[in-house]
Amino acid sequence: MGTVVVGVLVFGSAGLILWRMWQRHKQGGGCAGCGGSCSGCSGSCPLPQKPKSR
């Protein structure tokens, strides 16, 4: 039971992080793990893909 709970916590968190990063990437900010908090990219993705929305 303990293994299931911890496993869900660990892999659930990892999945959530991946999903959040993907969402941010789609929105054009905070991609590639920079978290988007330094604001240097002005919310636009520094990766070559064009931001889909602002």
Instruction: Please select the residue that binds other proteins; options are 17, 19, 22, 52, rule is CB under 8 A.
Output: 17
Q: By the 8 A CB rule, do 21 and 33 touch?
A: yes
Q: Which long-range contacts (CB under 8 A, 24 or more apart) does 33-42 make?
A: none
- List all residues 6 or more positions away from 52 whose beta carbon is below 8 Å from its beta carbon: 26, 27, 28
Instruction: Please select the residue that binds other proteins; options are 10, 22, 23, 52, rule is CB under 8 A.
Output: 10
Binding to other proteins (CB under 8 A) within 24-53 occurs at 31-35, 37-48
Site of interaction with other proteins (CB under 8 A): 1-3, 5-7, 10, 13-14, 17-18, 20-21, 31-35, 37-48
